[in-house]
């Protein structure tokens, strides 16, 4: 029995961690001999250190199904074979409850202050929460441990260990991280990063820095993350993504909140965009191989997926619109917070009664044309997705390098969250690098790297509005997915480089006058608005929001290139 399980779970103030055994505790009722403690407890040993905790190590999906169905309320097998689970009170991430330890190194390295996702905590408070999580995990009869990898680039692979209390969490990470072969597991050694997920147990609200009973704590020096008070599995995936946003740029590798796919000729496209703008939907393309749907690295040898799985939104999912994602929902897939028919267990994807953010997590090989290993050459197209619920951004525009950087740093989208009755204004969101919740350094650092790589490899930037057309949310409607797919096809094939363009007012975007398979009149949004005055007003309103947002970046240099910095500052809306 390797001793490292105990080491991982050892409480720092106690002599021993839990005693461990592989397999189902139910089958090993007569506790193994090693549990006996002949020595008298010393002052630093508490009863909890005598407690026996089973470690269920890298269980298979079938074993995890059994654990979930037996022990976790709300777990069911749906008619397609997926495991339906509930994430509890939290059905999305809690960015305001994320804390990062500020120490000598991170104080200078990281982006702190206004706009930054990094809210500080001190080392001591981290240890308080860590102890709370470890004590909770040790108090259980069993915990799950996953040892897996991140990053398909063999030279920059990271070993991660996830300690959790729920089979749901273990299966989620089994699907989302890269799965080691038995040989790789044999030689796994010490992990580079460890998550202690005690999500069922709250943090103590009286602990310094805590503002709720949820806390997601990152300690880069200790290479550890602690989760208390949220069971939403996305916290683990995105927490590790934050870690990659710190580790990779140090090695000259750019980490990206993007989807990525590759055509038959080896042409690679990146899809940036905030949550719900279409990264997963549009990178999953029957005619192209999928490199990944959400998190990538761009290094000297090309791109690599960080993950081993996909995490698709499944609200209103249909076979007609998204057949590959539909077919990926089968045995092994985790279905979060969906509603299904009591008897047939058929999922009702239109049902938002638990949350609008229903999700499916599946291994990437569940997509038939996944490219394994998930790596590819340097990107040819960089597609920025915005779901513009104001309905004023064109369905597609070709960007200059400076405009690409301007929109990358802005990271705009305007999703409409709920869909309640009555007028509901779209709300603009600006999230630097299309992932401000996950970046660790100042946005201009990532932007400079992106500009450099795009320039070096001659990539073209595009802005694609997957949001509203014919008016804002309420009067217009969302652009048909079929049209967006045609636009994306024309970008991939290169045919969109060879058409006529005209320049829009205010945003100065180059828009094509025709795209095969798309009605030409929708390409310039003004055509689709009945009320032209309302269009102008809405356009100026959005331009103003862009300008206000960008104000915080105007005194930052982007890389070494002064002229590019000036061009980027001038690449925003002019009015
Ligand atoms: N024109 C369109 N283009 C893209 N997606 C659309 C369009 N119209 C509707 N949709 C829907 O919008 C959603 C896009 O979600 P998707 O899972 O692709 O987001 P994402 O960018 O991957 O977000 P996250 O980072 O949260 O995973 C899907 O449910 C898709 O069906
Ligand atoms: O992280 C999540 O929970 C979902 C996601 O992909 C995102 O928000 O970008
Ligand atoms: Ca996604
Ligand atoms: Mn994402």
Mutate-to-test residue for ligand 2 from 237, 239, 279, highest number of ligand atoms within 8 A of CB:
237
Average of per-residue pLDDT across 459-478:
94
Determine whether the shortest distance from the Cβ of 307 to ligand 1 is under 6 A: no
Q: How confident is the model at residue 31 (pLDDT cuts 50, 70, 90)?
A: very low
Residue 276 has pLDDT above 80, yes or no: yes
Please list, in sequence order, all residues whose beta carbon lies within 8 angstroms of the beta carbon of residue 404, skipping any fewer than 6 positions away: 382, 384, 450, 451, 454, 461
Ligand whose nearest atom lies closest to the CA of 437: 2
From the candidates 166, 169, 279, 485, give the one annotated as an active-site residue: 279
Higher pLDDT, 101 or 21: 101
Nearest atom (ligand 1) to Cα of 259: 22
Q: List helix spans (H) across 259-390.
A: 279-283, 323-328
Residue nearest to atom 2 of ligand 2 (CA): 234
Active site residue 294: yes
Q: How confident is the model at residue 202 (pLDDT cuts 50, 70, 90)?
A: very high
The interface predicted TM-score of the complex, written ipTM, equals 0.96
Q: Do the Cβ atoms of 543 and 550 come closer than 8 Å?
A: no
Determine whether the shortest distance from the Cβ of 275 to ligand 2 is under 6 A: yes
Percentage of the chain surpassing pLDDT 70? 90
pLDDT tens digits for range 328-344:
999 999 999 999 999 99
Q: How far is CA 223 from the centre of its chain?
A: 19
Ligand whose nearest atom lies closest to the CA of 281: 1
Distance (Å) from CA 75 to ligand 3 centroid: 23
Alpha-carbon distance of 197 to 216, in angstroms, equals 9
Determine whether the shortest distance from the Cβ of 311 to ligand 2 is under 6 A: yes
Nearest atom (ligand 2) to Cα of 274: 9
pLDDT tens digits for range 404-452:
999 999 999 997 764 444 546 788 999 999 999 999 999 999 999 999 9
Determine whether the shortest distance from the Cβ of 313 to ligand 2 is under 6 A: no
- What's the token pair of residue 187? 């030689």
Nearest atom (ligand 1) to Cα of 283: 18
For residue 32, what pLDDT is reported? Answer: 42
pLDDT tens digits for range 301-322:
999 999 999 999 999 999 999 9
- Dihedral of the alpha carbons of 495, 496, 499, 503, in degrees to the nearest 10: -170
- Report if pTM > 0.80: yes
Distance (Å) from CA 271 to ligand 4 centroid: 11
pLDDT tens digits for range 499-557:
999 999 999 999 999 999 999 999 999 999 999 999 999 999 999 999 999 998 988 88
Active site residue 258: no
For residue 128, what pLDDT is reported? Answer: 97
For residue 26, what pLDDT is reported? Answer: 59
Determine whether the shortest distance from the Cβ of 280 to ligand 1 is under 6 A: yes
pLDDT tens digits for range 74-118:
999 999 999 999 999 999 999 999 999 999 999 999 999 888 999
Active site residue 109: no
Residue 42 has pLDDT above 80, yes or no: no
Distance (Å) from CA 438 to ligand 4 centroid: 10
Determine whether the shortest distance from the Cβ of 431 to ligand 2 is under 6 A: no
DSSP states along 222-276: TTEEEEES---THHHHHHHHHHHHHHHHHTT-EEEEEEEEE-TT--EEEEEESTT
For residue 474, what pLDDT is reported? Answer: 85
Determine whether the shortest distance from the Cβ of 148 to ligand 2 is under 6 A: no
Q: How confident is the model at residue 53 (pLDDT cuts 50, 70, 90)?
A: confident
pLDDT averaged over every residue in the chain: 91
The alpha carbon dihedral of 288, 292, 297, 300 has a sign of negative
């Amino acid at each position: 029995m390797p001793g490292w399980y105990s080491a991982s779970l050892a409480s720092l103030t106690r002599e021993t961690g839990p005693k461990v055994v592989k397999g189902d505790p139910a089958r090993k009722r007569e506790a193994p001999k090693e549990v006996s403690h002949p020595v008298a407890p010393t002052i630093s040993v508490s009863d909890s250190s005598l407690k026996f905790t089973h470690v269920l190590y890298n269980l298979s999906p079938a074993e995890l199904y059994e654990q979930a169905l037996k022990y976790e309320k709300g777990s069911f097998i749906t008619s397609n074979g997926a495991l339906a689970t509930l994430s509890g009170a939290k059905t999305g991430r809690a960015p305001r409850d994320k804390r990062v330890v500020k120490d000598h190194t991170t104080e200078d390295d990281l982006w702190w202050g206004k706009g930054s996702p990094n809210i500080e905590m001190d080392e001591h408070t981290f240890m308080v929460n860590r102890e709370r999580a470890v004590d909770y995990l040790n108090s259980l009869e069993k915990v799950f441990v996953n040892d897996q990898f991140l990053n398909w680039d063999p030279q920059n692979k990271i070993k991660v260990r996830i300690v959790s209390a729920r089979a749901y969490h273990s299966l989620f990470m089994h699907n989302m991280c890269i799965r080691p072969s038995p040989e790789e597991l044999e030689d796994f050694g010490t992990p580079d990063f460890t998550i202690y997920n005690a999500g069922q147990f709250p943090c103590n609200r009286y602990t310094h820095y805590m503002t709720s009973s949820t806390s997601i704590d990152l300690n880069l020096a200790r290479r550890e993350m602690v989760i208390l008070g949220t069971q939403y599995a996305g916290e683990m995936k995105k927490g590790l993504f934050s870690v990659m946003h710190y580790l990779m740029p140090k090695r000259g590798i750019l980490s990206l909140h993007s989807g990525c796919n590759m055509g038959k000729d080896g042409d690679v496209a990146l899809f940036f965009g905030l949550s719900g703008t279409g990264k997963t939907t549009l990178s999953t393309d029957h005619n192209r191989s999928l490199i990944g749907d959400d998190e990538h690295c761009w290094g000297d040898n090309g791109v690599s997926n960080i993950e081993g799985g996909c995490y698709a939104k499944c609200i209103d999912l249909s076979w007609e619109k998204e057949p590959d994602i539909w077919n990926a929902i089968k045995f092994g897939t985790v279905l979060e917070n969906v509603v299904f028919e009591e008897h047939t267990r058929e999922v009702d994807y239109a049902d938002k009664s638990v949350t609008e953010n229903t999700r499916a997590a599946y291994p990437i090989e569940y997509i038939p044309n996944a490219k394994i290993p998930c790596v590819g050459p340097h990107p040819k197209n960089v597609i920025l997705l915005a779901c513009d619920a104001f309905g004023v951004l064109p369905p597609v525009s070709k960007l200059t390098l400076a405009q690409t950087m301007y929109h990358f740093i802005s990271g705009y989208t305007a999703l409409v969250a709920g869909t309640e009755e009555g007028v509901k204004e779209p709300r603009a969101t600006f999230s630097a690098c299309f992932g401000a919740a996950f970046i660790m350094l100042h946005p201009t650092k990532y932007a400079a790297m992106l500009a450099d790589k795009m320039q070096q490899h001659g990539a073209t930037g595009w802005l694609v509005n997957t949001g509203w057309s014919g008016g804002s949310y309420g009067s217009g409607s969302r652009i048909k997915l079929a049209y967006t797919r045609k636009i994306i096809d024309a970008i991939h094939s290169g045919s969109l480089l060879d058409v006529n363009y005209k320049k829009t007012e205010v945003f100065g975007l180059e828009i094509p006058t025709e795209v095969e398979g798309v009605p030409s009149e929708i390409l310039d949004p003004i055509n689709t608005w009945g009320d032209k005055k309302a269009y102008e007003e809405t356009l100026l309103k959005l331009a103003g929001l862009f300008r206000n947002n960008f104000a915080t970046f105007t005194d930052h240099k982007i890389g070494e290139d002064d002229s590019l910095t000036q061009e980027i500052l001038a690449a925003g809306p002019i009015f």
